[in-house]
Amino acid sequence: MGAYAILEDRFRRAALIGSAAGILGWDRAVVMPEGSADARAEQMAALGLAAREILAADDMADLLDAAAEEPLDGWQAANLREMRREWVRSAAIPPRLVEARSRAHTGCEMAWRSARPASDYAAVLPLLEEVAALTVEAGQALAAALDVPLYDALLDGFEPGGRAADIDPVFDDLAAFLPGFTDAAIARQAARPPLQIEGPFPAGRQEALGRRFMDALGFDFDRGRLDVSHHPFTGGAPGDIRITTRYDEADFLTGLYAVLHETGHAQYAAGLPLRWRHQPVGRARGMTLHESQSLLIEMQVCRGAAFMAWAAPLMAEAFGGAGPAWSADNLLALVTRVERGFIRVDADEVTYPAHVILRYRLETAMLAGDLPLADLPGAWNDGMEALLGIRPPDDRRGCLQDIHWYSGAWGYFPTYTLGAMAAAQLYAAAKSADTGIEPALAEGDFAPLYGWLGPNVHEQGSLYGTGHLIERATGRPLDAAAFKAHLAARYL
């Protein structure tokens, strides 16, 4: 076997270990008994170490150099590039730290599940401090290996090549733009408030409706599942995609739109190039593109008039609704309602970036040592007041609402707003390329939309960097222009 073939075999084995960890992670969030947390931490740590042993083997540098001398096609060359990137990141973290982080993440996440509904930040604080300390230690090791600042090293794990220096001016611009825009949108909507729909909305009927929409989107229930968890997510493994939501029997729209969001993630994962399934080049390019696909479905498409023309009768049928409140126009007004709220996952697309900017600023301050974790609740509440003009009444609706920091995902949050920008730009390009997309959506037909997203986004895997892929698909680099234009067209 040549060096490249040896590398493909090793990365395939490491990917399969990662797939097993993905299923165990889903199980931990959905069905695992709380008392099994210690055992699951042992299992996850062992899998992490096993994958690292493969990817950081002593001969990897020589194999990567030798493979670079072999004749490779474009996909193989891109795969080798991604292999080297993954090797650098794996080799930078010592086994002791891999194991310690895995255990800390599991323990803190389990504690967060109890602390969040009880609004008891003090209960989880010691575990979060351990997670943060280990995150900084790992970030410093990665920063040295990549020759970048600590935050960029962590961001790179979610958005390859992402840099805070590129994010800061975009977020500063949005932070300046959004307050006035939000005021204008709220004022415009105040003149014609929508009719409210009243429950209860039984969880079983919500699930059935969600599954009906997932079918329309093309989700393959023979290779995936829909379940309930504390925090909606998409996980599992290639060929076995698991998504979750949570239901509120007083408001079916929150659970439904979480399902639509996660189905966007799932369809991106399912559409990645099958030939390269267990290779680095066959993976999602990063979380900016992943979030673009979930937000494109949830925000761009499913809060649009074409989708609602088809979906409204199904919603009414699911809950026995009738009358003007269940009309397509009124339901559309409900799902595009702009209001300042405490919960990120329930936020409208106008205020959503403010939630992300807050988290980005807080996590950069905590990682830099400028914000002690004990002071996070107060800093969070101050930031919400500054950016959105509201102050959370408790930590459940403040710094405990998201799972990310407690499960070790530091550096993830910026990709949500970058993804929203990419979603607007990609959807505009898709509609320009195929004028039949929106008429088809009005009939519940997503095939034309995925007919464009497939070859332009999903099937490209990690062949290109995020910026390159978006520019190829849309004809210009990623910026906030399409996002701002979309907001203006929909809300003003």
Active site residues: 262
H-only helix segments in 95-218: 95-118, 121-146, 150-155, 164-190, 203-217
Cα–Cα distance between 21 and 152 in angstroms, integer? 25
Of 89, 214, 216, 196, which Cα lies nearest the Cα of 142?
89
Q: Which two tokens stand for residue 18?
A: 């990662």
Phi/psi of residue 376, nearest 5 degrees: -60, -45
Cα–Cα distance between 153 and 410 in angstroms, integer? 10
- The arrangement of strands across the sheet holding 240-245 comes to 224-228, 240-245, 234-237
Cα–Cα distance between 208 and 241 in angstroms, integer? 18
- Cβ neighbours of residue 71 closer than 8 Å, sequence gap 6 or more: none
Cα–Cα distance between 230 and 404 in angstroms, integer? 12
Q: Which two tokens stand for residue 308?
A: 């609602």
Count the helix, strand and coil residues of the chain and give each as a percent rounded to the nearest 5. Answer: 70, 5, 30
Buried b (16+ CB within 10 A) or exposed e, 316-348: bebbebeeeebbbebbbbbbbbbebbbebbbbb
Positions of E strands within 219-314: 224-228, 234-237, 240-245
Burial class (CB in 10 A: 0-12, 13-18, 19+), 225: middle
Task: Give, to the nearest 10 degrees, the angle between helix 3-30 and helix 74-92.
Answer: 60
Of 166, 403, 420, which Cα lies nearest the Cα of 287?
420
Cα–Cα distance between 86 and 55 in angstroms, integer? 8
Q: Which two tokens stand for residue 252?
A: 């079916």
| Angle (nearest 5°) at CA 131 between 45 and 407 | 70
Cα–Cα distance between 172 and 363 in angstroms, integer? 16
Contact criterion met (CB below 8 Å) for 247 and 207: yes
Q: Which two tokens stand for residue 422?
A: 């990419």
